[in-house]
Copies of this chain bind each other. A is one copy, B any other.
Amino acid sequence: MDQKFNELLETLSGLDYSGMYESDFLLTWEKSEEELRALYATADALRNLRERGISTRIFDSGLAVSLFRDNSTRTRFSFASGSNMLGLQLQDLDEGKSQIAHGETVRETATMISFMADVIGIRDDMYIGKGDAYMREVANSVAESYADGVLDHRPTLVSLQSDMDHPTQSTADILYLINEFGGIENLRGKKVAVTWAYSPSYGKPLSCPQSLITLLPRFGMDVTLAHPEGYDLMPELVDIAGKFAAESGATFKKTHSMEEAFEGADIVIPKSWAPYAAMEKRTNLYAEGDDEGIKALEKELLAQNATHQDWCTTRELMEKTAHGQETIYMHPLPADISGLSCEHGEVDADVFEDHRVGMYKEASYKPYAIAAMIFLQKCKNPVETLKALEAAGKDRWYQA
């Protein structure tokens, strides 16, 4: 048995994550710290098997259903990859983006796609107050159809980004950090700047920064959230961040200065997002079908953004951090890169290039994050199953 793999299984064995079996993965703050630790160990264990060429298939057949209500390349491929390595075939439900379905339609569609679905992955991040609610409606629908004897098993859900959280992204982010710093314990006391950044585009989701501030403090990281006035996140999630920080003995600070957040940071994660209040307004305009109102709001928000072009990560700004250019700069990608993908953006091209390989590695954890979520939700005995997969040693890629 591989030593790293062995250590991961030992870690897993010491944790209580029994609540994850046959559950869903929608919001990290609904998961216990042990469940999250189990998730990270499982993701690393699956990666370990895969990189040693050992098959991680637990499904001989079965479907992984995806429903993307927003464009996606990265997450789509990550879901396809994570499902495929477990043996599931991707089947996309293309409902169109504009539709906010509810009630009978959701219940019926959720059931109709689930007769042989083992997992359902949903991305619904565009409408504040709607994305997570929609996922819960789907989750309740399939639970009900299972209870009614319509479904012979209940497919589990994985959020591929809602209006509130982006758990597969934040799991990839922390897996990257765990592996960079040589263990989750080493994250304690690290200072992280989660900051807004200028973008020439409009309406980027809040779920990325929200997923970070609600997760990192739980493992003892000192988080500073920075954004211009008016660019608030959902207030209840900022509260959760503070509460988690208090519980773990970490700090959670807010500021309206990017520079202040960068000061002494070990890790900086600057990214654009839209103001919460504006997104709430937009959701209502969409619900009313008010196209004129949407256009007016867009114009207003772009003008508001434009007054904050100085929120850009430069090498000069990086000098303020704990390790200068060596400090970890993260981004879920794609980034708006000044002088490359746009005139003024979230980050200067030289800083982006300095940290490009790191960001690619960060992204590389997402398929494993998704696979681990599915694995823990579908396996009653994850440790035994991982052991059995290693013992079987079936080639993923056969070579005589």
Interface residues of A, Cβ cutoff 8 Å to B: 50-51, 55-63, 65, 73-74, 77-78, 80-81, 84-87, 89-91, 93, 103-105, 108-109, 111-113, 115-118, 145, 148-152, 333-334, 337, 340-341, 357, 360-361, 363-364, 366-367, 378-381, 384-385, 387-388, 394-400
Contact = CB atoms under 8 A, between A and B. Distances in A.
Interface of A is mostly: mixed
Q: Which 3 A-B pairs have the closest CB atoms?
A: A81-B116, A384-B400, A388-B400
A337 to B, nearest CB: 7
B93 A90 contact: no
10 contacts: A50-B116, A58-B399, A60-B394, A61-B87, A80-B91, A85-B116, A89-B89, A103-B340, A105-B341, A378-B397
B89 A63 contact: no
B397 A115 contact: no
Contacts of A150: 357, 360-361, 364
Given A108-B334, A115-B366, A379-B400, 13 more contacts: A61-B86, A61-B396, A73-B109, A78-B115, A80-B89, A81-B116, A84-B89, A112-B333, A115-B364, A145-B360, A148-B357, A151-B364, A385-B400
Q: How many copies does the complex hold?
A: 3
B398 A60 contact: yes
Contacts of A65: 77
B50 A152 contact: yes
